[in-house]
Amino acid sequence: MVLEARDRVGGRTEGGVLAGHPVELGGTWLGEGHTEMYRLVAELGLETFPTWNDAGTLLLDLGGRRSRMRPHKGATPRLNPIALADLAQGLARFGRLARSVDPAAPWAHPRAALLDGQTFESWIRRTLRTPTGRAYFRVLAEAVHAADATDLSLLHTLFYTASNGDLETLISVDRGAQKDRVVGGSVRVAERLAEDLDVRLGAAVSGLVQDDHGVTVTTRAGAHLRAAHAVVALPPTLAGRLHHSPALPAWRDQLTQRVPAGTVVKCLAAYPTPFWRNRGLNGQAVSDTGPVTVTFDVSPPGAEVGVLLGFVEGGEARRWQRLTAERRRAAVLDRFRHLFGPQAADPVSYVEKDWSAEEFTRGCYGAHFGPGTWTAYGPVLREPVGRIHWAGAEYAVEWSGYMEGAVRSGRTTAEAVLARSASRAPAAVTAP
Ligand SMILES: Cc1cc2nc3c(=O)[nH]c(=O)nc-3n(C[C@H](O)[C@H](O)[C@H](O)COP(=O)(O)OP(=O)(O)OC[C@H]3O[C@@H](n4cnc5c(N)ncnc54)[C@H](O)[C@@H]3O)c2cc1C
């Protein structure tokens, strides 16, 4: 039985409609190596289509200078030779470090204390010499973690990169993490799965009481459910907000206090056509001028309309979310206009989704680890507490933070529970 707090399934994936076409308000792309998601999509009778990446170039807008780049894996940005050399040595060093981290046990790295004792920002300042090189890595932190480089442990950025293949895979479309989309939106996966499951919507769990024989789960509405085991499939910080009896062990509770969610707002604007394609642009941009730092073309497969996606992330999001709705929209469209021309200032529809304002998510894309957390608490992250188990994107060894990681973690945890529950008691429900 699945207890879902919202009145819909999908969690961090959510469907919306813009100019009459389905759009993703949350998790969007399936990527290279996301084998479980592709398998699930096929099993559920759904289909994928490739992200628009065909013609045109990606825009780099760093340090007040604009340049273009072919959008394919391994492509080199057109920067001045000094910035390019700086960036190349930074990427090579980061790649070497990431390859030395085992995503199953980042705390076991021979230099774990050193790598976890510094922020990603400290590493950027030490390793990159040019403003453009530094700006590139800072935008990378925002784009990948929805957090600022100052928020992140260096070891965490290395873990996350190793967990998701490599840096190129994380940021690329072709053969990368942004390769394909699900026809009708990624939320269709959860909706189809739910058809065959016992899902109770609007059932926000408030607490768990466990004894030697099982777990009693209580909802806010006062229903009590008894089961042999419970899987808390929430990001760790939300799991820590539930009432636990007996109280969670200190090491578990302290862990839940140390893995904050990122801050991301997704802004989508629809136009009569994807006009940027005719201007030799593919709709992708990376900019260090906020509020929008990363953009994508997320038009529907037939391109009946053009849809631009802009991410507002990290510190930019924290500042932007305090503006009025009118000023927020104006600030986003002003960046779209700057990047893609005057037509971008006048969409036929516009929508924004602030994931940190969602009661049952509290921030996205997922959790990040600040300095010292992996080394102090990493070994217990995936460890059950008695009959309470943990699952979700944050617990995945491979493809951490992604839908793929959530599915893999779900399978691993389900297998562990089934292995332990040979004498499984049937679930019983008591209404309030
Ligand atoms: C803007 C954005 C863009 C993203 N882009 C991508 C992408 O392109 N590709 C990709 O793979 N991933 C992407 N992600 C990340 C991806 O969406 C998540 O990693 C994944 O969906 C997490 O799944 P999960 O099951 O671990 O967690 P969740 O989806 O968060 O599921 C947790 C569920 O628990 C429910 N819940 C919360 N509190 C309670 C409670 N007290 N009681 C009962 N239920 C509760 C929630 O409502 C939710 O349904 C993105 C996320 C966002 C927000």
Q: Which of 306, 421, 383 is nearest to 296 (CA)?
A: 306
**Cα(first)–Cα(last) distance of the chain, in Å?**
18
Nearest ligand 1 atom to the CA of 9 is 49
State whether the beta carbon of 218 lies less than 6 angstroms from ligand 1: no
- The string over 304-327, giving b where at least 16 C-beta atoms fall within 10 Å of a residue's C-beta and e elsewhere, is ebbbbbbbbbbebbeebbeeeeee
CATH code for 204-258+379-430? 3.50.50.60
pLDDT 10s digit of each residue in the chain, 432 long?
Answer: 999 999 999 999 999 999 999 999 999 999 999 999 999 999 999 999 999 987 678 999 988 888 888 777 667 777 889 999 999 999 999 999 999 999 999 999 999 999 999 999 999 999 999 999 999 999 999 999 999 999 999 999 999 999 999 999 999 999 999 999 999 999 999 999 999 999 999 999 999 999 999 999 999 999 999 999 999 999 999 999 999 999 999 999 999 999 999 999 999 999 999 999 999 999 999 999 999 999 999 999 887 899 999 999 999 999 999 999 999 999 999 999 999 999 999 999 999 999 999 999 999 999 999 999 999 999 999 999 999 999 999 999 999 999 999 999 999 999 999 999 865 544 444 444
37 CB under 6 A from ligand 1? no
Dig out the tokens for 414 from the structure. Answer: 């389900």
pTM: 0.96
State the CATH architecture for 83-160.
Orthogonal Bundle (1.10)
Instruction: Measure 45 CA to ligand 1 centroid, in angstroms.
Output: 22
Every domain of the chain and the residues it spans: 13-55+175-183+261-357, 83-160, 204-258+379-430
Give one DSSP letter per residue of 295-326, joined into a string: EEE---TT-SSEEEEEEEEHHHHHHHTTS-HH
Q: Which of 365, 390, 400 to mutate to test the pocket of ligand 1 (most atoms within 8 A of CB)?
A: 365
Atom 1 in ligand 1: residue holding the nearest Cα? 26
- The vertex-270 CA angle with 264 and 274, nearest 5°, equals 110
CATH-assigned architecture of domain 13-55+175-183+261-357: Alpha-Beta Complex (3.90)
From the centroid of its chain, how far is CA 239?
Answer: 18
Among protein residues, the one whose CA lies closest to atom 21 of ligand 1: 12
Cβ atoms of 103 and 399 closer than 8 Å: no
How far is C-alpha 99 from the chain's CA centre? 21
> Pairing between strand 388-390 and 230-232?
parallel
